[in-house]
C-alpha cells in the first residue's frame, strides 16, 4: 500500500472529524486544521495517490510552467489541454474578478508563480549554488514577493522551498500557505516530488527527504462526499508507482514539455477511478 495514500486519508479523516468550520473569500465554507506536516522519503517511494486517479501529466506540466518555462501565460497550459488555471485567467481587456490589471497581463495570472521565478532567476540560482556551494544554508526559492502580490490574480499557494544537501542527497522543505486538500494537494505533492528528482539528477545527487508544511489545510463543503468516497477505498490502495526520468537528459531546462511529456513518466501506476470536484474561486 502507498504510504502517501494512508497519510493523506488519515489527515482527511482528521479534518472531517476535528476540523474547524471556516468562512473564506470564495463563499464556500471549509473545514480546516492548521499546521499539517508530512515527510516523504523520495528515495524510498514516489508519492502519488492511488485511491483516486491523479492526472500526472497535468500536474507535471503545471510545475514545468512555473519552474522550467517560467511563464504566467495560461495559454501555454491550454495548448497542452491543461485547464486548471482557466478560472484565474485575466481576460483580454486586462480584467479579472472586477479588478483591472492592465492589458499587458491579458491571458495571464498576473505577477505570480512563473513570473516571480523568472523575475528573480530562482531556478538557475538554485542549481548554480547546488553545484558550487552545496553546503549553503540560504538555498531558498520564495514566490512570496510583497511588491507583486497586488498584481497577482492568485498569490502563490505553495510559496516557498528550502533546499539542503546531506549525505549525497537533495532534501527540500516545501511551505504552503493555503491548501485545497481534495483538489490541490494531490497535484502539489506529486509535482514537487518530480521537481526534486529533476534537480537532484542535474546536480548529481540522489533525491532525499521532502518535508511538506501546510499552514491552512482545508476541505470545502462541496468536496466532503468525494473525500468520504476516497476514504472508503483506503483498504484497496495500491503500491506506489515509479518515476522515470529520461537518462539522456541531465539539464533541467531540456526536458520535453510538450503535452506528450516524453522525458518524464510514471511506471506501473495503478489507481482507482477519478473523483471529480468543483474548484472554489
- 3-class secondary structure, 52: coil
Cβ-based neighbours of 108, under 8 Å, separated by 6 or more: 72, 73, 74, 89, 90, 115, 153
Report the alpha-carbon angle 88-183-241, nearest 5: 125
Q: How far apart are CA 111 and CA 133, in angstroms?
A: 30
Catalytic site residue 157? yes
Catalytic one among 12, 157, 172, 179?
Answer: 157
CA quadruple 97, 89, 192, 9: dihedral sign = positive
Q: Which one, of 278, 226, 219, 180, lies nearest residue 19 by Cα?
A: 219
Q: Where are the alpha helices (DSSP H) in the chain?
A: 3-18, 56-67, 74-78, 114-119, 122-132, 184-203, 224-231
Which residues belong to the active site? 157
Amino acid at each position: 500500500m502507498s504510504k502517501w495514500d494512508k497519510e493523506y486519508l488519515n489527515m482527511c479523516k482528521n479534518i472531517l472529524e476535528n476540523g474547524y468550520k471556516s468562512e473564506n473569500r470564495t463563499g464556500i465554507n471549509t473545514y480546516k486544521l492548521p499546521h499539517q506536516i508530512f515527510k516523504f522519503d523520495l528515495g524510498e517511494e514516489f508519492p502519488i495517490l492511488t485511491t483516486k486517479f491523479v492526472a500526472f501529466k497535468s500536474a507535471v506540466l503545471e510545475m514545468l510552467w512555473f519552474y522550467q518555462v517560467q511563464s504566467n501565460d495560461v495559454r501555454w497550459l491550454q495548448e497542452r489541454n491543461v485547464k486548471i488555471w482557466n478560472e484565474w485567467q485575466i481576460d483580454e481587456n486586462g480584467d479579472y474578478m472586477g479588478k483591472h490589471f492592465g492589458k499587458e497581463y491579458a491571458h495571464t495570472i498576473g505577477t505570480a508563480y512563473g513570473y516571480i521565478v523568472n523575475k528573480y532567476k530562482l531556478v538557475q540560482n538554485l542549481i548554480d549554488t547546488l553545484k558550487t556551494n552545496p553546503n549553503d544554508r540560504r538555498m531558498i526559492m520564495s514566490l512570496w514577493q510583497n511588491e507583486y502580490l497586488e498584481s497577482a490574480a492568485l498569490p502563490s499557494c505553495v510559496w516557498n522551498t528550502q533546499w539542503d544537501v546531506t549525505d549525497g542527497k537533495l532534501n527540500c522543505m516545501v511551505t504552503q500557505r493555503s491548501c485545497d486538500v481534495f483538489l490541490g494537494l494531490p497535484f502539489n505533492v506529486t509535482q514537487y516530488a518530480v521537481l526534486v528528482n529533476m534537480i537532484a539528477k542535474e546536480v548529481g545527487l540522489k533525491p532525499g527527504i521532502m518535508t511538506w508544511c501546510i499552514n491552512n489545510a482545508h476541505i470545502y463543503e462541496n468536496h466532503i462526499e468525494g473525500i468520504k468516497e476516497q476514504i472508503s477505498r483506503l483498504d484497496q490502495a495500491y503500491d506506489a508507482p515509479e518515476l522515470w526520468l529520461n537518462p539522456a537528459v541531465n539539464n533541467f531546462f531540456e526536458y520535453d514539455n510538450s503535452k506528450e511529456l516524453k522525458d518524464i513518466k510514471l511506471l506501473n501506476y495503478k489507481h482507482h477511478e477519478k473523483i471529480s470536484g468543483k474548484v472554489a474561486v
